[in-house]
Amino acid sequence: MGRDYRGSVADLPAVSPAEPPASIVVVGAGLAGLRTVAELRSRGFVGRITVVGAETVPPYDRPPLSKELFARTEPVWLAGEGFGELADLADRVLLGHRAAALQAHDDGVALTVAAGTSDAAGHSETISADAVVLATGASPVLPAGWDGASALHTADDAARLRAALTPGARVVVIGAGWIGAEVAGQAAARGCAVTVVEAAPTPLYRQLGATLGERTRPWYAAAGVALRTDSTVTAVRPGEVHLAGSDGAPERLRADVVLAAVGVRPATGWLAGAFPLTPRGALRVDPAGRVTGAPSSVRAVGDCVDMAVPGVGLVPGGHWDAALTHPAALAADMLGQATPPPAAPYVFSTQLGHDLAFVGMPDDAASLVLRGDPEDAWTALLVERATDGTTGRLLAGFTVDRPRDVGPLRKLLADGARPVLDLARAADPAVQLRRAVLTPDRAAGPA
């Protein structure tokens, strides 16, 4: 084997290996792991593939766990959704096994796996391969002192939560982000008394910023959900949640069910410092999944990564669409093939009676251009205004009950593009977004 990179901070490999690997081990049996295996096979890879997954069941779709908590009471198996059967695509599948350690070199890897999900698990083995793809996902954040809170991340979590959300139950959801709002609305519709507690000044503050987040506030009352912003949870005990308001005054909320929806942490702790991590604990990768500070035999994809995209910046993983689309470029590059351009960051949500989508990267300094009726269906365009104020560079878009703008936004922002818009035309909901784009040689044509 070649030089050991563990603990070093090496540059990303400039090019793919001259020869594709003959054997690959994929760590993670979720959407990103399954899509990686499927892409490798569809691109002609005939070598040996081993897949290691921590859960004991085949890959399933996670968004329905929160978006359709009551509508879909059984896991939505990815094989049944047209994504392929993992057992048919891989040569060996080890479910119910966790990755425990990794030794990686330019010419191969040695992965130690253990049966079970805890450090006390018994049987372990070491798997050798030419390359590894880390698709370990993320785990929900449960701060210390929140002993009475549960999380929603797995199908088992969803089953327990579903059983607890009975009519009349007092429910406290900590966090007014995507998942918190999705569950809160469904629990209220189920007849629960729901309170959402958010430390930030608005819902979706981290995801959208204060201005757009504030526009979602009325949705809570309309759905029968009490919203408490600027409130910090200090402890969660059986039957109650301890708060500190903006004035610091302590308060207690009675609760039969407490759901912690305050984000996830990339599942990278088991790597024990083998490779450098971003501030949120993710592996830093390029659009081909090559890991900063790692040998060429190591790739990563999905919720455990932050991707450095030219023209955009560091894009956090953690969303379904990234797990769906990024494996294509990773697999192509591993096999020495041309890579497709990176898709624009994209997240979707159904919450409190509204269908939402966010495309691109949020920017606190961006100006907002609204198109549509703010009381009905609308889109907010985040733009960098030119000095004349009539044009601006498109950075991102947020749609509310306006699906017709989602596809155009994804096309306009693909591959790190930031097209210049005629802002007056962009604000007109009757004008197609592509017709608002200005090019160096011509203005946008008529709608």
Residue type, 309: V
Domain ranges of the chain: 23-139+264-334, 155-260, 353-438
The closest of 261, 217, 255, 213 to 237, measured between CA atoms, is: 255
Question: How far from chain centre, in Å, is Cα 142?
Answer: 18
159's enclosing H/E stretch is helix 155-164
Tokens of 25: 């081990």
pLDDT in tens, the chain (447 residues): 232 322 333 333 444 445 899 999 999 999 999 999 999 999 999 999 999 999 999 999 999 999 999 999 999 999 998 999 999 999 999 999 999 999 999 999 999 999 886 555 568 899 999 999 999 999 999 999 898 899 999 999 999 999 999 999 999 999 999 999 999 999 999 999 999 999 999 999 999 999 999 999 999 999 999 999 999 999 999 999 999 987 888 999 999 999 999 999 999 999 988 999 999 999 999 999 999 999 999 999 999 999 998 777 888 887 889 999 999 999 999 999 999 988 889 999 999 999 999 999 878 789 999 999 988 999 999 999 998 889 999 999 999 999 999 999 999 999 888 999 999 999 999 999 999 999 764 443 444
What's the angle, vertex CA 255, arms to CA 251 and CA 261, rounded to 5?
90
Pick the CATH number of 155-260 from 3.50.50.60, 3.40.50.300, 3.10.129.10, 3.30.2320.50: 3.50.50.60
The closest of 284, 245, 252, 288 to 268, measured between CA atoms, is: 284
Give CA–CA dist 308/310, Å, rounded: 7
* CB-facing half-sphere around the CA of 151: CA atoms within 13 A: 14
Asked if the domains 155-260 and 353-438 are classified in one and the same CATH topology, the answer is no
162's enclosing H/E stretch is helix 155-164
0.85 cut: is pTM over it?
yes
Place domain 353-438 in its CATH homologous superfamily.
Answer: FAD/NAD-linked reductase, C-terminal dimerisation domain (3.30.390.30)
* Strand residues in 121-239 grouped as ranges (E): 124-129, 131-134, 138-140, 170-174, 193-197, 225-228, 232-237
Instruction: Please give the class, per CATH, of domain 23-139+264-334.
Output: alpha beta
The predicted pLDDT at position 2 comes to 31
Q: Which residue has the tokens 């054997």?
A: 23
Strand partners, 242: 235, 252
What secondary structure letter does DSSP report for 389? S
Q: Please, what is the end-to-end C-alpha distance for the chain in angstroms? A: 61
